[in-house]
Structure 1
Amino acid sequence: MNPSTALARVVVDELWRCGVREAVLAPGSRNAALAFALHAADARGRIRLHVRVDERTAGFLALGLAKAGRRPVPVVCTSGTAAANLHPAVLEANHAGIPLLVLTADRPPELRGVGASQTTDQLKLYGDAVRLFHEVGVPERRPGQNAYWRELVGRATAAARGFRDRNPGPVHLNFAFRDPLVPEPTDPVDLEDPRLRDDWPESLAGRSGHGRWTRIERVSTEHIAWLEEGPRTVVVAGDGTDAQARWLAETAGWPLLAEPSSGARSGPNALGPYRLLLDTGPDLEAGIERVVVHGWPTLSRPVTRLLARPDVEIVVVSRRPSWPDAGHQAYRVTTTAALEGTVEGAGRREPDEWLAAWLAADRAARAAVDDVLAEEPEFTGLHVAREVAGVLPEGGLLVAGSSNPIRDLDLAAAPWGNRLVDESGRIDPRNHRRVLSNRGLAGIDGTLSTAIGAALVHRSGPAYALVGDLTFLHDANALVRGPYEARPDLTIVVVNDDGGGIFSTLEQGGPDHAEAFERIFGTPHGVDLGSLAAATHTPFTRATNGAELRGALSRSRGLRVVEVPVDRSRTRDLHARLREAVAAAAYDGVR
């Protein structure tokens, strides 16, 4: 089976699983794979196919089917002006709130902009009139495609139905197809046909039975998705979460893997260097059967790999129309989740064997990290992150840069002991340390301005920023302020390793790339940060060890810069020693 046929048949199968029962086709060449797949689904009695020779007519026919049937209806066309002729129906569906699925075929990227026939710019062709647009990657014969295609269809049909915002409307998926565009006569129609097991590098079937790839629950602030007790579960809390993730972990008795900017990295179930445990833990990662995801976890590859495992049930808790599922494995998406039998305000469940094993491994891993850092002769970014986290009081604010600083906090800073609720049983933000980071796109730009803005409205305690030198230089103009502007109380700690230290921990930092590394990744700059601060009349201090840093952090009035110079040449070796130490300690911790 060629990739175009595989994509088309998987998409049509998942549309049927998501409740699509009618489809409209306008004939063409580039959309041939979808046409054959819809014809096969019609022959099997799954989706009734309607064919129209004019795209404008086809669009409004699909609109009428969706409006009367109250189900999403796809309309499929070829590239070029065919796609443009669907625009009137898209506009009507937008203003009327009709769940129209616009599936346009397109040329692959190498045929765009070079004068190829029937090729124009179809990216976001309908502008803001659609609830979701996605450029579907050119199908390839490799693992991971089935999950991507099926999860995308679930996301698209959910957006068309108005999941979360209760604002149904049109959705646009643009499919780039390469030749061949038609199936072979011997290609299996059934995606569970045994012949496909040898022909394709992964199963192209959906979930067991007739289940959708992603089960999506309608938004309701009162609704709780009750989770059964059986599977061994961990809670992952990414950026932008809240105390709900911690509440779930404690009431259910599950380990909590919380990023620093999640708002949930506290309490007895929160783990410290969890990403090292996922990499090296004694069968703990392999034993995970379910993950409940809150927020946007983006910091570590071990968590990313966990969320992409096909043998793990992924439950996503999100109130946003776009939910995180980079591994395309989410089975259930809901707004609130709780363990069956628990109620709001329920206390912490005592650790069972599953949680106790994680907590024992975590204690051993924290001790191992402490020992390695204590033996390290040089002051490093990990030491700085631990010191800054250690001085942050309840009610304090910390804004972390999106490169090494937030990851150093994640690895070296122990979870805080914040109370979940106050004496009245309510969550009081004044009792909690707040960690913010620009993790939406994880860029380094604008971080100082973000920190200054956050500090200007922060009222419950001191405010700090922890950034790298490149992040600082990228937004140094934030220190420029006029005489009439408000002055924040903010201490900016700059870990200065004279370049891009994070790259030394990645593949390009290995010995095979040493010759080119400094110029194109290390990028030393040699900037005197003290002189730069002086140019803007910003108070400046340099700290070279823990005692000097703690002294500098104790003076928190006004806007100040504290530079901590470190040597990035040792970073890769230090992280390797941490992994080895945690691997050995974690095994000892659970024996």
Structure 2
Amino acid sequence: MAENLDLAIVNEFVEELTKAGVRHICVSPGSRSTPLTLAMARHSSLQLWSLLDERSAAYFAYGLARRRKEPVVLLCTSGTATANYFPAVMEASQTRVPLLIITADRPPELQGVGSNQTVDQVKLFGSHVKMFLQMPVPEASAPLSRHARQAAWRAVLTATSSPAGPVHINWPFREPLIPPLAPLDSTQAAGAHPAPGALAQFGRAVTAPDWTILNSVLNLCREMERGVIVCGPQDDPELAKLLIEMALQLQIPLLADPLSQVRTVGHTTDVVIDGYDILLRDERWFDRLRPDVVLRFGRTPTSKALGKFLQAQAEAWQVVVDEDTAYSDPYFTATHVAVSDPREFCQAFLRESPGSFESSAARGEWLAAWIAANADVQAVVTSELGTEKFQNGLFEGQLPRELMACLPSDGTLMVGNSMPVRDFDSFLKSTESKTLVMANRGVSGIDGVVSTALGIAAAESGPVVLVIGDVSFYHDLNALLIAKRHALSLVIVLIHNDGGGIFSFLPQAAYPETFEHFQTSHGLDFRPAVEMYGGRFVSVRTWSEFRQAVGQGSQ
């Protein structure tokens, strides 16, 4: 087939993507996306991941971009393929992960006339993307060449600037779809002027703290007697270390979500409170441990009990530190909002505060009360888990402690939604282990979790272990093909309780005549499916067998 010289622009676009920092492309096979697929596959600086199912591909790209903290391209053909990206795009939007979604499209003359595999893809993802770019049909012209080059840079700059997030590029192509080969040597000499339309360099937006709000927070902390730091889900271990330093300097407790990295940053301290989820289920503690100042970081906490506690503290000064004006406050109790990169805020706070917080007897008693209550919770939990009742069976609440004891150092733990992440919230103790603990808590769906974990594994960031419930595993079984095709290692701890019973904890359970519509039992044996994809399936019945299986799988 003859090459389409108008598609040389596509080569220029791809070249600028690489110069802007893109290294990974997640592509699902399709015809209309041929120009981009060929241009990207031919480029020596890009690694292509060929992924057959678009929904799984999107979550894989999400996990890869999130773990590597860099933009990753998603590429598909036109039609329903594009809509399969939607769940992962929503997750990337909520958790601020830089995805570049490129959807191929039919040209304008084929829109709305019954052409095959043609739908309206303009602004398909709506408000879930930071920016939408509708590309013109390629033509061999200087203005369109400049436009394509700048579009690549603009997309990367937008996706990676704070707050990061997904960008959608929709690009219509006319047949023939084969682009010409790019020049063999497109290397640009250092210091040379960039090609027309391209950038030589860009600076990403990082939101620094405003001095006025920082000074107000410092003053609140100087005057407080009963302060609390709350850190919800976030992926930055360095921020976790800074928050521990702040808590120690202020002599206040740090309530750490299991996904905050605070519990697993590599060292422990009494100021880190990890038993709050169990403690605060007794609402009598709401008054006993009533704070006057709350400093909040990260996304919305996993714990419902902690959320109710924060909502009940309407008389406290509550400071939310968030890099976006769409800050996390579903309790509507914030009194101060610092729009800032959280790490920048903490560093500025610590720079300005040395020696400015005098020791206080009241503050010391306050911290001691939290530490004592937390110690009591952990003592009771440890005692109960050690009884014959729990030692003779596989109680899900014991899984976090057993797993952390046998995980390899400097790995990543992915935790599924529904009950697994709640069990980790309740039962994961602070540990000396350095483990990045992640979950898809942006939209908190149970779909795409296996694909996300495989994307994390593809980031080459050390061993990866996934803890997941059986219904969530069922939703994303086809993701196992990614592991087979790309030889990726992943240890999956499957909690198989035939659908579990999370809805039994909700008010719906009080209506037995309709409760069958909330039950998720399925009766499936997953061994054949896992083995079909080339995986090894091991059933365990004791914690000793569990530790042995995890150890063997992590090697």
Q: TM-score, normalised by structure 1?
A: 0.51
- In the other structure, the counterpart of 2:371 is 359
The percent identity for this pair of structures is: 30
SS at match of 1:454: helix
- Residue 278 of structure 1 is aligned with which of 274, 277, 280? 280
- Aligned AA (2:495): V
**Higher mean C-alpha displacement, 271-280 vs 324-333:** 271-280
SS at match of 1:551: helix
1:500–1:521 Cα contact (<8 Å) kept:
no
- In the other structure, the counterpart of 2:353 is 342
- Aligned AA (1:235): I
Does the alignment pair 1:474 with 2:451?
Answer: no
SS at match of 2:527: helix
- In the other structure, the counterpart of 1:578 is none
- Aligned AA (2:405): G
1:277-318 per-residue CA deviation (whole Å, 9 max, x = no partner) reads: 223265665422221111112412222122323212211111
2:276–2:306 Cα contact (<8 Å) kept:
no
What are the residue-to-residue correspondences of 1:380-419 with 2, within 5 Å? 380-417=395-432
1:250–1:349 Cα contact (<8 Å) kept:
no
- Residue 297 of structure 2 is aligned with which of 283, 294, 298? 294
**Aligned pairs, how many?**
334
Alpha-carbon distance in 1 for matches of 2:535, 2:360: 50
**Higher mean C-alpha displacement, 332-341 vs 450-459:** 332-341
SS at match of 2:228: strand
Q: C-alpha displacement at 1:503, in angstroms?
A: 1.9
CA, structure 1 residues 513+340, in 2 after alignment: closer, same or farther (shift >3 Å)? Answer: farther
Does the alignment pair 1:544 with 2:541?
Answer: yes
1:14-54 per-residue CA deviation (whole Å, 9 max, x = no partner) reads: xxxxxxxxxxxxxxxxxxxxxxxxxxxxxxxxxxxxxxxxx
Alpha-carbon distance in 2 for matches of 1:340, 1:230: 18
Q: TM-score, normalised by structure 2?
A: 0.54
Alpha-carbon distance in 1 for matches of 2:252, 2:455: 36
1:456–1:487 Cα contact (<8 Å) kept:
no
- Aligned AA (1:521): F
Which 5+ residue runs of structure 1 have no aligned equivalent? Answer: 1-123, 133-163, 166-217, 419-431, 559-591
If you compute each CA radius of gyration, which structure gives the higher value, 1 or 2?
A: 1
What are the residue-to-residue correspondences of 1:566-581 with 2, within 5 Å? none
SS at match of 2:290: coil
- Aligned AA (1:368): V
**Higher mean C-alpha displacement, 490-499 vs 234-243:** 234-243
What are the residue-to-residue correspondences of 1:446-525 with 2, within 5 Å? 446-460=448-462, 462-481=463-482, 485-509=485-509, 512-517=510-515, 519-525=516-522
- In the other structure, the counterpart of 2:334 is 330
Q: C-alpha displacement at 1:349, in angstroms?
A: 11
1:169-204 per-residue CA deviation (whole Å, 9 max, x = no partner) reads: xxxxxxxxxxxxxxxxxxxxxxxxxxxxxxxxxxxx
1:299–1:407 Cα contact (<8 Å) kept:
yes
Q: C-alpha displacement at 1:391, in angstroms?
A: 2.0
Which 5+ residue runs of structure 2 have no aligned equivalent? Answer: 1-122, 132-161, 164-205
CA, structure 1 residues 487+129, in 2 after alignment: closer, same or farther (shift >3 Å)? Answer: closer
What are the residue-to-residue correspondences of 1:23-38 with 2, within 5 Å? none
Q: C-alpha displacement at 1:390, in angstroms?
A: 2.4
CA, structure 1 residues 389+522, in 2 after alignment: closer, same or farther (shift >3 Å)? Answer: farther
- In the other structure, the counterpart of 2:166 is none
- In the other structure, the counterpart of 1:426 is none
Alpha-carbon distance in 2 for matches of 1:285, 1:238: 22
1:402–1:442 Cα contact (<8 Å) kept:
yes
Alpha-carbon distance in 1 for matches of 2:455, 2:308: 35
Q: C-alpha displacement at 1:464, in angstroms?
A: 0.5
What are the residue-to-residue correspondences of 1:369-380 with 2, within 5 Å? 369-375=381-387, 376-377=389-390, 378-380=393-395
SS at match of 1:322: coil
Q: C-alpha displacement at 1:490, in angstroms?
A: 1.5
What are the residue-to-residue correspondences of 1:43-442 with 2, within 5 Å? 219-220=207-208, 223=211, 224-225=214-215, 226-227=217-218, 228-231=221-224, 232-240=226-234, 242-243=239-240, 244-266=242-264, 267-268=268-269, 269-280=271-282, 282=285, 286-309=289-312, 310-334=314-338, 335=340, 336-337=345-346, 338=349, 342-343=353-354, 352-375=364-387, 376-377=389-390, 378-417=393-432, 432-442=434-444
Alpha-carbon distance in 2 for matches of 1:371, 1:248: 32
- Aligned AA (2:371): L
Alpha-carbon distance in 2 for matches of 1:523, 1:400: 20
Alpha-carbon distance in 2 for matches of 1:367, 1:286: 19
2:234–2:260 Cα contact (<8 Å) kept:
yes
2:454–2:482 Cα contact (<8 Å) kept:
no
Alpha-carbon distance in 2 for matches of 1:129, 1:434: 26
Alpha-carbon distance in 2 for matches of 1:408, 1:482: 27
Alpha-carbon distance in 1 for matches of 2:354, 2:407: 32
Alpha-carbon distance in 2 for matches of 1:391, 1:482: 23
Alpha-carbon distance in 2 for matches of 1:539, 1:307: 44
Alpha-carbon distance in 2 for matches of 1:289, 1:473: 46
CA, structure 1 residues 433+284, in 2 after alignment: closer, same or farther (shift >3 Å)? Answer: farther
